[in-house]
Amino acid sequence: MLNIGSTVPLEHGGHATITDILGSGGQGTVYRAEYSGKEYALKIYFPNKLKSPDLFRENLRALTEDKNSDRAFLMPLMLTDNIDGSFGFLMDLIPKEYKPFSDILNARVKLQGLYSVVNSAIRITSAFRTLHNSGKSYQDINDGGFFIRPSDGDVLICDCDNIAPYGEHLGIAGKPGYMAPETVRGEKAPDKYTDRYSLAVVLFRLLLRGDPLEGCKVLKSVCLTEEAERRHYGFEPVFVYDPVDDSNRPVRGVHNNIIKFWQIMPDYIREAFIFSFTVGLREPQKRLIEKQWLDLLKRLRGEIVSCSCGIQNFLSAMDTDENGKLVCMCKNHFSKPLELKGGKAGVLLSESAKLFDDNVKPIGEVVRNKKNPALWGLKNLSESDWSYILPNGEERTAKSGGAVPIFLGTKITIGENSFSVEE
């Protein structure tokens, strides 16, 4: 262990000074360090803990030179020189407003509203899409490496030092409960297919707040020994909602979250999870690719309905009355909102509904007209102008900060995409 105040020589010259000890893991210790007037995280590996240190270092160097990774990944920035038979690297610190995914799963931290929940799922998925498209895999997807900003669902992913090109395996196996069954069985080293299994687990945990393979069958193992763990997650995995095998259903009183949230998910999300944890358990090549998840998640985000009381719900979770109106938990009845259609996913234009760009930054929001609250508009929160055509054929522009009146038949052009307001 290095002490506070120690200096660490960097490969390309200069020194980092250790200012705090942030924590220790299986591979090494992470410090807070100052370099060139800025604070960083500094990870130093334990000597002799890496299987092939030279290969590992070479891979780390390639990662420091990778300039095309998704901004979610906190990549190694600079390598250190050799220090007492070991080495390490500098990376950016995780800002305070980002909270550990594990705290969110344990409900110690709450994401603010459904937009944050779905946006974090979208950010995680699109970061892995970029990574896999560049020919690399993360190899160790689990709740320990993810940090989420509760206010908007933005994501940062650390532990990026095991990222490697396909075919290269740095000796990491993964975390139980997130590992693909074939990795648990010891048949296969992590790759993009095992990453995709782990991604489905992360999405399931995020949306349903439980373990997709932990039902009554697993509870019967009085204590989860390593052998029992290998059986439930490797050799005999059964999805809790497997449509043809009900031997591992969630247990009321233990898995209440899964039971509650499974009921309110739309069919297309349930089907994606059923596929992922039945066919996808056994046939890695058939697992959903990131693009498929992104389309489903964007559709889900567009079906978030906000009531004027502030409660948000997925459309699929809302009751309707005898007149076909939606019923909020606050007892308010309101008509199904008009929908902004265009591209693959529509967006229901309920009060305070939001439109996002690919970085989950809001670019539009449904607002009421201040002078005439019966009139609704889509406020332009982006930097660029939107052009739109009213149902009477009149062409107009909504500048940044302006709003497009929402009438059935209004057509809007945002960037290169055209949308229309439909029923």
Q: For the chain, first and last CA: distance in Å?
A: 64
Is the Cβ of residue 80 or residue 306 nearer to Zn ion in the bound state? 306
Query: In angstroms, what is the minimal distance from the CB of 310 to Zn ion?
Result: 7
C-alpha R_g of the chain: 24
How far CA 312 is from CA of 52, 129, 215, 354, 364, in Å, comes to 50, 28, 29, 12, 17
Q: How far is the CB of 333 from Zn ion (least distance, A)?
A: 10
- For Zn ion, give the closer residue by CB, 19 or 308: 308
* Residue closer to Zn ion, measured from CB, 249 or 354: 354
Residue 297 or 305 having the CB closest to Zn ion: 305
Cβ distance to Zn ion smaller for residue 289 or 327: 327
Asked if 10 and 16 count as a contact pair (C-beta separation under 8 A), the reply is: yes
Nearer to Zn ion, 1 or 309 (CB): 309
DSSP class of residue 289? P
Q: How far is the CB of 332 from Zn ion (least distance, A)?
A: 4
Dihedral over Cα of 188, 189, 194, 198: its sign = positive
Q: Which of 276, 270, 274, 271 is nearest to 290 (CA)?
A: 276
Q: How far is the CB of 311 from Zn ion (least distance, A)?
A: 5
Query: Measured between alpha carbons, how far is residue 155 from residues 78, 107, 109, 137 in Å?
Result: 22, 17, 14, 18
For Zn ion, the closer of residues 4 and 309 by Cβ is 309
Specify the residue, 27 or 306, whose C-beta has the smaller distance to Zn ion: 306
Least separation in angstroms between residue 307's CB and Zn ion is: 3
Taking the complex as a whole, the smallest distance from the CB of residue 308 to Zn ion amounts, in Å, to 6
Number of H helices, E strands in the chain: 11, 26
**Minimum gap (Å) between residue 179 Cβ and Zn ion:** 42
Provide, rounded to whole angstroms, the least separation between the CB of residue 317 and Zn ion: 13
**Polymer length in residues for the chain:** 423
Alpha-carbon distance 161 to 58, whole Å? 11
CB of 70 to Zn ion, least distance (A): 36
Round to whole Å and give the CA distance between 192 and 167: 10
Q: Please, which residue, 311 or 389, has the CB nearer to Zn ion?
A: 311
Would you state the torsion angle of the CA atoms of residues 156, 158, 162, 165, taken in this order, to the nearest 10 degrees?
20
Comparing CA positions, the residue from 339, 340, 338, 314 lying closest to residue 328 is 314
Rounding to the nearest 10 degrees, give the CA dihedral for residues 50, 52, 55, 61.
Answer: 20
Asked if residues 340 and 332 have their Cβ atoms less than 8 Å apart, the reply is no
Binding site for Zn ion (CB under 5 A): 307, 309, 311, 328, 330, 332
